[in-house]
Amino acid sequence: MQKRLTLGLWQRRVSRVSGRGDEEPGHPLVRDWVRSHPGVPFGQGSTDPAVTRLVAGLGLGQVQRDLGGMDNLTVLVDGGRHVLRSYKPFVTVERIVELQRLRRSVQAAGLTTAVPVEIMGRSVHLCGQRWAEVEPFLQLPVPEPDPAAVFAGLGRLHRVLASLPSLSTADMRPSFVSVDVLREWVEINSAEEFLTPERGSQLRHLLDRVEERWIQPGLLPVQLIHTDPHPANILYGGGPQASEFVYLDFGGIEVAPRAHDLAVALVYQLRRPANPMAQAVGQLPLLLDAYDQTNPAPLTRQERDAIPAYGAAVAAYYDICGWGPGWRSLGTQQLDLTSC
C-alpha cells in the first residue's frame, strides 16, 4: 500500500507544470526548470574550469577523455583508474546520496555496479553549480548480441530492487507517467510550438489508442525499477553467473509498475535497425521467459497484457520530448500486439 501511495503522490506532483520560454530541452519539466534558473548553464563540458579544478583538487590528475552519456558529464581521470560524474544542475545532493546508498545495496546483494568512493571524507563534491561523484573505472563487457540477455539481467535486478525500500527523493523527469500526464505534455509542447500541429494530432490519436488498452498501475506489481534498462545500461559478458552482468545509470530509479521496465526494454529491442518488427514479435515470449527465469516472482498475466500499451506510452513519451525519430510509429506497432 505504501509503495502505491508513493507512486500516486508522484503522479499528481508531476502533472503540475507551468512556464513559457524558448530553451531547447524537450521534456516540459526540464524546460520549466531551465526557465526558472536562467543563470545556471544546463550543460557542462569536460574542459569546463569547474571540472578541471575539481579533478585537480581531488588529486585525480587531469581529465583524460569524455566517456559520453546523455544526461551527465562522465570523464575518465586518475590515469584511467577512476571516473568523475557531474550531474545535471537540477539533480540535488539529497538525490545523489540516496542513489549512492542504493548502488551500495545492489552491490552488497551480489550484482556488479560502480559504487562511488570517498575522497577527503566525502562521496559527493561540488562542481561549479552542480554535484559530482567519483567511482572506479569498470572494464565493461561488450554488450551481448542476444536480446534475451537484457531481460535476464533485468529479472536479476528486479529481484534485488524489490527487497529495497523506496527512496524519499524523485527524479525531476519521472519515467513512468499516466496517459493523462502524457496528454498534458502534448498540450504544453503544442502550445509552445515544440510540437507541430501534425505531430500533436498524431500523438493525441496514439494516446487515445493507448488509453483503450491501459491497465491501471494499481492492478500490477509495483516496486523500485531502473526505468532505463537498455543494452548499454545492462551489460552481459557471457556466462551463467549474476556477476557476469554490469548495471549502470540508476539516476532515474523510481517506484512504478515493473511492467514499465519491461516495456522500456522492449521498446529499445524493437527499435534495433537489424531487428524487423515481424522478427521481434516472434521473440517476445522468449524475452519475457528469460526475465521469468531469473526472477522468483514471474510476470503475471496482467503484466504481460499491459506491456504493449505501456510500451506505446514509452514511445509516445520519447516522441513528445523529441528524443529522435520513429518513436510514434513504433508505439503504433506495439498496439497491434494482442499481448506479450
Question: What pLDDT is stored for residue 281 in this prediction?
Answer: 63
Can you tell me the distance from the alpha carbon of 215 to that of 239, in angstroms, rounded to the nearest whole number?
Answer: 36
Question: What pLDDT is stored for residue 19 in this prediction?
Answer: 31
Q: Would you identify the CATH topology of the domain 44-136?
A: Phosphorylase Kinase; domain 1 (3.30.200)
Model confidence pLDDT, tens digit, residues 93-121: 999 999 999 999 999 999 999 999 999 99
CATH superfamily of domain region 143-335: Aminoglycoside phosphotransferase (APH), C-terminal lobe (3.90.1200.10)
Can you tell me the distance from the alpha carbon of 244 to that of 24, in angstroms, rounded to the nearest whole number?
Answer: 39
Q: How many CB atoms lie within 10 A of CB 272?
A: 13
Can you tell me the distance from the alpha carbon of 33 to that of 42, in angstroms, rounded to the nearest whole number?
Answer: 10
The alpha-helical segments, DSSP class H, found in the chain are: 2-14, 28-36, 49-57, 93-108, 148-161, 179-191, 197-213, 258-271, 277-294, 301-320, 327-335
Question: What pLDDT is stored for residue 280 in this prediction?
Answer: 60
pLDDT in tens, the chain (340 residues): 333 333 333 333 333 333 323 335 789 999 999 999 999 999 999 999 999 999 999 999 999 999 988 789 999 999 999 999 999 999 999 999 999 999 999 999 999 999 999 999 999 999 999 999 999 998 877 766 678 889 999 999 999 999 999 999 999 999 999 999 999 999 999 999 999 999 999 999 999 999 999 999 999 999 999 999 998 899 987 655 545 899 999 999 999 999 999 999 999 988 876 655 556 666 788 899 999 999 999 999 999 999 999 999 999 999 999 998 899 988 988 888 766 7
Question: What pLDDT is stored for residue 327 in this prediction?
Answer: 93
The full set of domain ranges for the chain reads: 44-136, 143-335
